[in-house]
Amino acid sequence: MSEEDLTQALTAACICCILAKAGPQRSRILANLYKDERTRGLPIFPFLQKVYLERILRQDEARFWGRRAPCTEQPKLRAFSNPPGLAGCDVDAC
């Protein structure tokens, strides 16, 4: 497996875990991803860290996430967050 494939797979795993329904399985996977040294170099790691540590996201962090979330998940994100938090997220562009 190439380094690029590994990075893409880890990023996808982080996104899926962050968007998963709350529960013990999500908590276990989130902990594993957070503690894995390979995820620390990913651009999504600061967001993963905030979710794992149950910290509140600043507006600029929410915008960062909104631009990187899969287009199919953005309507769900809008339903659970305030609209200014996802300003700049163009679902129609996907």
For 7-42, how does the pLDDT look when each residue is reduced to its tens digit (9 = 90+)?
A: 999 998 998 898 888 999 999 999 999 999 999 999
- Domain chopping of the chain, boundaries: 3-84
For 54-88, how does the pLDDT look when each residue is reduced to its tens digit (9 = 90+)?
A: 998 888 877 766 666 665 554 444 444 444 443 44
Q: Please give the model's pTM, rounded to 2 decimal places.
A: 0.65
Of 56, 64, 61, 59, nearest to 83 (Cα)? 59
Asked whether the beta carbons of 33 and 17 are under 8 A apart, the reply is yes
